[in-house]
Structure formats: structure tokens, C-alpha cells
């Protein structure tokens, strides 16, 4: 019985560690999605509306800069 409890404790520790890693990875992906979606929107604007090349470039640069700046300036990260 004691061996079973030891095994159960080890399984619980490993699943907790796996859950933590999965949550951390999902959090990092979620943080990166904002600037990448904005950059994708700028690329779509670049190709769909040819007269708005400057607007598309500014949209992509600004969104990427502010998304990266927000991530880097966060003291809790």
C-alpha cells in the first residue's frame, strides 16, 4: 500500500509539472499572438488596398513595437 501511495504521489508531481509547462507555453503563445495578428492584418492591407502601403507599414510597425514593448516592460513577467 505504501508503494502505491508513493507511486501515486510521483504521478501527481509529474502531471502537475506538465500542467504548469503547458499553461506557461499557452501564455507565451497568447502574448505573441497580438503583435503577429496585427502584422498579418498589415500585410493583408498592403496587398488588398495598394494605395494604403504607408498605412499598412505604419500599422504593422506600431502594433509590433507596442506589443513587444508591453511584454518587455512588464515587471511581473
Residue 75 or residue 43, greater confidence: 43
Provide the 10 A C-beta neighbour count for residue 41: 14
C-beta of residue 45 within 8 angstroms of C-beta of residue 56: yes
| Of the listed ranges 33-37, 47-51, 53-57, 70-74, the one predicted with least confidence | 70-74
Residue 77 has a pLDDT of 55
Q: What is the 3-state secondary structure (H, E, C) of 10-24?
A: HHHHHHHHHHHHHHH
% the chain with pLDDT above 70: 86
What does the pLDDT average to over 6-26? 90
Cell (9 digits) for 47: 496587398
- The grid cell for 62 is 506600431
Query: Is 34's pLDDT higher than 90?
Result: no
Amino acid at each position: 500500500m505504501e508503494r502505491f501511495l508513493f507511486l501515486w504521489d510521483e504521478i501527481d508531481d509529474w502531471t502537475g509539472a506538465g500542467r504548469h509547462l503547458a499553461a506557461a507555453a499557452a501564455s507565451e503563445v497568447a502574448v505573441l499572438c497580438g503583435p503577429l495578428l496585427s502584422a498579418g492584418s498589415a500585410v493583408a492591407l498592403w496587398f488588398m488596398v495598394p494605395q494604403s502601403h504607408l498605412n499598412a507599414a505604419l500599422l504593422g510597425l506600431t502594433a509590433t513595437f507596442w506589443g513587444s514593448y508591453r511584454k518587455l516592460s512588464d515587471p511581473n513577467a
